[in-house]
Structure 1
Amino acid sequence: MYAPPVPAASDPLLPAYVRAAGGVALRFGRVGAQTLRLDLSESGGYRARFPTTFDATSEAVLINTGGGMAGGDAMGVTVDLGPGSEAIVTTQAAEKIYRSQGADTRIETRLTVASGAALAWVPQESILFSGARLNRHLTVDLAADARLVACESVFFGRSAMGESVQRGALRDRWRIRREGRLIFAEDVRLEGAIAQTLGRSAIGAGARAAATVLVAGGDLAGRLEPVRALAGDSQAGAVELGAGVVSELLVVRLLSPDAQALRRVLVTLLGHLTGRALPRTWST
C-alpha cells in the first residue's frame, strides 16, 4: 500500500492558516528533595500532563490532541531543567506523520539541562505514512556535569497494514553541546523512494524501523558492554544493534525490518539506561 506520487511544491497546496501550529514549553526545578514543574506553556493542540511519581523525578507526558501531523503542521517542544533537577519526558502515543501535499511537517525540540540535572527524553516513535515529509530538529544544551538519555525512533510505514514508504522525505538533524561546545552533530536525509533506499544493504538492509539513543554523563564505558550484550539476546534476534562511545557520548543505533521487535528491544534498552521502568504510556 502506498500513496500516489505528490511532488514537493515550493508553494503549498493549502494555505498556512489551515495548518496546525503549536507546542509545549516546560521548566522544571529542584524544590527541597523533589523536582517540580515550575512553568508550563501550551499552544495549539498540544498539551502536557504530569502523572504522580513516588521519587525525586518529575514525569511529563506530551499530548497531541489532533491525533497526528500532516504536511505544513509545526510543533515546538522546549524542556528546561534547573540545577539538580531530574525529569523524564515522553509522549502519550506514537506521533503519526500523515501524507503531505507538498509541505514538510516540522518538529523542533530544544532541551536544556543545567548543572547536576538529569533528563530522559524518551518520546514514542514517529510513524511515517507513505508520502509523508518530516523535518525534525533536536537541539540539546548541557552543563558540564549534566546527564542525558535521549531517544528518537522512526517507523517507516504502518507495518500492521502492510504499508511501506514508497515515497516521502525524512530530515533528522541533531545538535548537542556541552558548556557551549559542540560534541555531536548529525544530519540524516532520506528523500524519494525511501523503501527502495532502505532496502540497500549498505543503508538499511530492508529496515522498516530505526532508532538512535544517546547518553551523556555518568560511566559511559561501564554501560557499553551491557548495551552491546543486548545484540546477542534472543529478543534482539530481529534487531541489528550497535553501540560505541564517541565524543563524550554513548551512541546506540538500532535497525530492524520488524518495527515491533525494535520497539521491544528499545523498551529494554531505555529501562537499562535510565535505571527505571519507562512511563506507562509506553505499555498502553
Structure 2
Amino acid sequence: MLESPAFQGGTPQMQRAEGEGRVATKARDGLSVLDTLYQSGCGKIRVPRAYGNWLEAVLINTSGGLTGGDRMAWSAVAAAGTHLAITTQACERIYRSSGGAACVASKLTIDAGARLDWLPQETIVFDGSVLERTIEVDMAGDATFLGLEAIILGREAHGEDARSAMISDRWRVRREGELLHAEAARLDADDTLARDNLALLGGARAYGTLCYVSQDAERHIERLKALVAGHPTAGASRIGDKIVLRATGRSGYHLRKIIMPAIAALSGAGAVPKLWSL
C-alpha cells in the first residue's frame, strides 16, 4: 500500500499556502495601463476599471488567511511616468501557528517620474500567530512612494488582544540605490513592556506606519501635522524628502480615523482606495 505524501514517515505533513503575484504598468496615450500580470497559488491580482490616470491593483489571498509555514510574495513595478495604486480586497489574517512563521515579502520598483501607492488594508493577527513581513522599495530620484502597513492585535469584538502573537516587520526604501528609510520592528509574545509602556504601544490594539518619499514632501508636512494634532497617539515628522507618520489606536476603527485623512492628503488619487470603504 502506497503511503500518502501527507503522512510520509508516519508524521502528518501540514498543507501550506503559497502564493505569488506580480504586476507592472506602462504608459500609453498619457494613461497608466497594465503591462504585466502574473499570479500563482493563492496569490491573485485583480485590476478594476480605472477612473483616473492611475492603475489600481487589488491583491487577494484566496486561502483566506496565513499561518506558520505559509508564504506570500508580491512584486510591483511602476514604469516611467506611470502611477500604480495597490490595495487589498480585505484585511489579511494571520492565524495561530503550529510551527514556523507566516512570511510575506513585497518588492516594489518605481521608475523615473513614476508613483506607487502601497495601501493594503490592515493585517489582523490572532493569538499564537507568528508573522515575518518585509518590504523592499527601489525608486528613481524623481519618483514618489506612499506606503502603509498597519496591524490590528486580535478581534476586538471577541475580546482578543493577541498577547501571544509575534510580529517582525522590516522596511528598506532606497532611492537611486541610497538607503533612505530603514526600520525593523519586532513584537514578541507576552511582551508586556512593548504592549503597555506609554512610550511604545501604551495598551493600543492597533498601530500603523505611513511613509511618504517624494521631492514635494516639504509641501505636505504641515498639513499632516494639523490632521493628527487632535490625536495624542499619532505624530508626523519630516527628514528631507521623507515623511513618516506613526499612529496607534484603541481599535482598528480608531486607527482608521487617524490614518485615512492622512492617506487622502498624500494619495495621488486624493482619497483612500474604494475597497477601504466597502
Alpha-carbon distance in structure 2 between the residues aligned to 1:175 and 1:14: 38
Report percent identity of matched pairs. 34
Residues 66-111 of structure 1 deviation map (CA, whole Å, 9 limit, x = unaligned): 1111111010000011100111000000000001112100000000
Contact 1:228–1:241 (CA under 8 A) maintained in structure 2: no
Contact 2:94–2:102 (CA under 8 A) maintained in structure 1: yes
Counterpart of 1:250? Answer: 243
1:32 Cα offset (Å): 1.6
Residues 134-186 of structure 1 deviation map (CA, whole Å, 9 limit, x = unaligned): 00000000001001111110011111211011212100000010001111111
Counterpart of 1:7? Answer: none
| Closer/same/farther in 2, CA of residues 160 and 85 from structure 1, 3 Å limit | same
- TM-score, normalised to structure 2's length? 0.92
| Among 101, 106, 111, the residue aligned to 2:108 | 111
After the TM superposition, which of the residue ranges 53-62 and 189-198 deviates more from structure 2?
Answer: 189-198
After the TM superposition, which of the residue ranges 249-258 and 121-130 deviates more from structure 2?
Answer: 249-258
Q: Equivalent residues in 2 for 1:143-182 (5 A)?
A: 143-182=140-179
Alpha-carbon distance in structure 2 between the residues aligned to 1:242 and 1:265: 10
Counterpart of 2:61? Answer: 64
Contact 1:167–1:195 (CA under 8 A) maintained in structure 2: no
RMSD of Structure 2 on Structure 1 (CA): 1.5
Counterpart of 1:134? Answer: 131
Alpha-carbon distance in structure 2 between the residues aligned to 1:272 and 1:142: 21
Alpha-carbon distance in structure 2 between the residues aligned to 1:88 and 1:202: 33
SS at match of 1:130: coil
Residues 205-264 of structure 1 deviation map (CA, whole Å, 9 limit, x = unaligned): 11111110111113212211111112234xx4xx61111112531111011222211112
| Among 182, 187, 192, the residue aligned to 1:190 | 187
1:192 Cα offset (Å): 1.8
Alpha-carbon distance in structure 1 between the residues aligned to 2:90 and 2:67: 16
Alpha-carbon distance in structure 2 between the residues aligned to 1:220 and 1:280: 25
2:153 maps to a residue whose letter is F
Contact 1:184–1:247 (CA under 8 A) maintained in structure 2: no
Gaps (5+ residues) in structure 2?
A: 1-10
Q: Equivalent residues in 2 for 1:231-270 (5 A)?
A: 231-233=228-230, 236=231, 240-246=233-239, 248-270=241-263
SS at match of 1:192: coil
